[in-house]
Amino acid sequence: MSRIAPLEPPYEADIQTQFDRIIRGAPPLMLFRVLAGNARAWEKFRAGSLLDRGPLSLREREIVIDRTCALTKCEYEWGVHVATFAAAAHLTDEQVRATALGDARSVCWSSAEQALIAAVDALHHRATLSADEFAALAIHYEYAKIFEIILLCGFYRTVSYLAKGLDLPLESNAARFPGKDAA
Nearest alpha-carbon partner for 31 in 176, 136, 166: 166
Vertex 75 angle, CA 28 and 59, to 5°: 75
- For residue 139, pLDDT over 80 is answered with yes
Class of domain 58-165 (CATH, top level):
mainly alpha
Alpha-carbon separation of residue 82 from 4, 70, 143, 172, 183 (angstroms):
25, 11, 26, 13, 15
Domain extents for the chain? 13-47, 58-165
Kindly report, residue by residue over 52-95, the tens digit of the pLDDT.
779 999 999 999 999 999 999 999 999 999 999 999 999 999 99
What is the band of 48 on the pLDDT scale with cuts at 50, 70, 90? confident
Alpha-carbon separation of residue 30 from 34, 64, 167 (angstroms):
6, 22, 11
Torsion (CA) 57, 63, 64, 66 in degrees, nearest 10: 130
Mean pLDDT lowest among 21-35, 54-68, 134-148: 21-35
Share of the chain above pLDDT 90, in %: 89
This prediction's pTM: 0.94
- What mean pLDDT do residues 19-41 have? 93
